[in-house]
């Protein structure tokens, strides 16, 4: 007996997941409901929806990362992460709700109109996060230095000695200000 594929669209947020299903064929997608964003709830949902071989799941990449993707793979369920920028938008489609987003994902996924993104390995993701954190800290440091320099300039306090700004001499000069 051939199993019909179910295309499942998930709108994932920090605490909940909105679920919509589009069966093979031309029927309209239907909203299944909302579950909590926990492993137990996801496992229960997937068992209710069908066999792993008949489910194709997609969700939009976002701040929740790739934990759900990796978890679904451990359950034997095919999952695709979609870049939000690659989801087709109709003109005038401004009202966004979790329900509408899940239904739209399921419909477009069934139609083959969504493109998955590369999901990094856990090691690659950790390295990427470390590099991003380092860059953010460097930018914060630079902004703080500019803020201090502009503050001092308002009071006509300008470092005029030879030497590198923010070097040893400059820091000694800063420490001597009162």
Domain that holds residue 53: 6-119
Residue length of the chain: 178
pLDDT tens digits for 15-27?
Answer: 999 999 999 888 8
Please tell me the predicted confidence (pLDDT) of residue 2: 58
Find the radius of gyration of the CA atoms of the chain. Answer: 25
58 vs 96: CA distance, rounded Å: 18
Last residue of a domain, one of 81, 102, 119: 119
**1 belongs to a structural domain:** no
Q: Say yes or no to pLDDT of 34 above 80.
A: yes
Per-residue pLDDT, averaged over 121-147, amounts to: 97
Which residue reads 């329900």 in tokens? 99
Per-residue pLDDT, averaged over 104-124, amounts to: 95
Same domain membership, residue 167 and residue 88: no
Same domain membership, residue 78 and residue 158: no
Same domain membership, residue 60 and residue 139: no
What proportion of the chain, given as a percentage, has pLDDT over 70? 98
Q: Say yes or no to pLDDT of 137 above 90.
A: yes
pLDDT tens digits for 60-78?
Answer: 999 999 999 999 999 999 9
Per-residue pLDDT, averaged over 154-160, amounts to: 92
What is the tally of structural domains in the chain?
A: 2
Same domain membership, residue 163 and residue 127: yes
49 vs 6: CA distance, rounded Å: 8
Name the average pLDDT for the chain: 92
Q: 22: domain CATH number?
A: 3.30.420.110
Same domain membership, residue 84 and residue 97: yes
137 vs 171: CA distance, rounded Å: 20
What φ, ψ does residue 126 adopt, rounded to 5°? -65, -45
């Amino acid at each position: 007996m051939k199993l019909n594929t179910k295309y499942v669209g998930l709108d994932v947020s920090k605490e909940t997941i909105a679920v919509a299903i589009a069966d093979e064929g031309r029927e309209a997608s239907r909203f299944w409901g909302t579950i909590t964003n926990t492993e137990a709830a996801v496992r229960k949902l997937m068992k209710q929806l069908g066999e792993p071989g008949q489910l194709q799941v997609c969700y939009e990449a976002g701040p929740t990362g790739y934990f759900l993707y990796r978890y679904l793979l451990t359950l034997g369920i095919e999952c695709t992460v979609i870049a939000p920028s690659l989801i087709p938008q109709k003109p005038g489609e401004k009202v966004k709700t979790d329900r509408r987003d899940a239904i739209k994902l399921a419909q477009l996924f069934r139609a083959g109109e969504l493109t998955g993104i590369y999901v990094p390995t856990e090691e690659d993701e950790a390295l990427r996060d470390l590099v991003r954190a380092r860059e953010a800290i460097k930018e914060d440091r630079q902004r703080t230095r500019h803020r201090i320099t502009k503050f001092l300039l308002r009071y006509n306090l300008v470092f005029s000695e030879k030497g590198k700004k923010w070097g040893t001499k400059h820091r000694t000069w800063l420490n001597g200000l009162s």
